[in-house]
Amino acid sequence: MTTLNLTYEDDNIFAKILAGDIPSHKVYEDDKTLAFMDVMPQAKGHVLVIPKQKAVELSQLEPEYASAVLMTAKKVMQAQRQVFEREGIIQMQLNGAEAGQTVYHYHVHLIPTNIHQLGKHASTQADMAELAEQAKQLREAIAAAE
Ligand code: AMP
């Protein structure tokens, strides 16, 4: 049995991305959310959406940030459909180590694939040039839809 730790750690990797201390392939940003490419994608075009709130998991997410994350997820999902020509986009979110959560800043995964073809979680590093190109295409698709 594990002990659930809901203390937000300021040095988690997504906090560092939000602070600009480490780079990310940015897809979209507004005052409450940030979306960027997952560096170990479970399918081509895997994006993460995070709130600009210090929440470890869903139980701590404030309503205004929950709403903002979903609105950003909608924009990203529509862009993914267009750019990657996939109808199916998996929306996934893990709460707690037992579920497989590895980064303790709340985030939604948006993965363009079929559930039966979903790759292994947080396993294989992507080509950074490919991620940069995918992020650019998604940014352009989102901008064109605004
Ligand atoms: P979870 O296991 O649900 O907490 O998901 C964490 C996700 O973050 C995994 O899919 C990782 O591949 C991804 N990840 C870890 N480090 C980074 C990073 N520096 N930039 C982008 N994605 C990351």
17-74 pLDDT per residue, tens: 999 999 999 999 999 999 999 999 999 999 999 999 999 999 999 999 999 999 999 9
- Whether 118 lines ligand 1, by a CB cut-off of 6 Å, is no
pTM assigned to the model: 0.97
Residue 62: DSSP 8-state: -
Residue 25 bears catalytic tag: no
In a domain, 110, yes or no: yes
Nearest to 108 by CA among 88, 96, 92: 92
The answer to whether residue 113 scores a pLDDT higher than 70 is yes
In a domain, 64, yes or no: yes
21 alpha carbon to ligand 1 midpoint, in Å? 16
23 alpha carbon to ligand 1 midpoint, in Å? 13
Evaluate whether 59 touches 104 at the Cβ level (below 8 Å): no
Give the range of the structural domain holding residue 93, as residue numbers without chain letter.
13-145
In a domain, 44, yes or no: yes
What H or E segment, with its residue span, contains residue 112?
Answer: strand 108-112
Ligand 1 atom closest to Cα of residue 40: 12
In a domain, 40, yes or no: yes
Q: Whose CA is nearest to atom 10 of ligand 1?
A: 122
The first and second tokens of residue 117, run together, are: 């073809």
In a domain, 21, yes or no: yes
61 alpha carbon to ligand 1 midpoint, in Å? 19
In a domain, 1, yes or no: no
In a domain, 27, yes or no: yes
Long-range contacts formed by 1-5: CB under 8 A, 24+ apart: 2/96, 2/97, 2/98, 4/96, 5/56, 5/104
- Whether 100 lines ligand 1, by a CB cut-off of 6 Å, is yes
**Structural domains in the chain (count):** 1
Evaluate whether 145 touches 75 at the Cβ level (below 8 Å): yes
Nearest to 69 by CA among 45, 94, 50: 50
Phi, psi dihedrals of residue 33, rounded to the nearest 5°: -140, 160
Indicate which residue of 46, 107, 109, 121 is catalytic: 107
CATH number at 116 reads 3.30.428.10
In a domain, 102, yes or no: yes
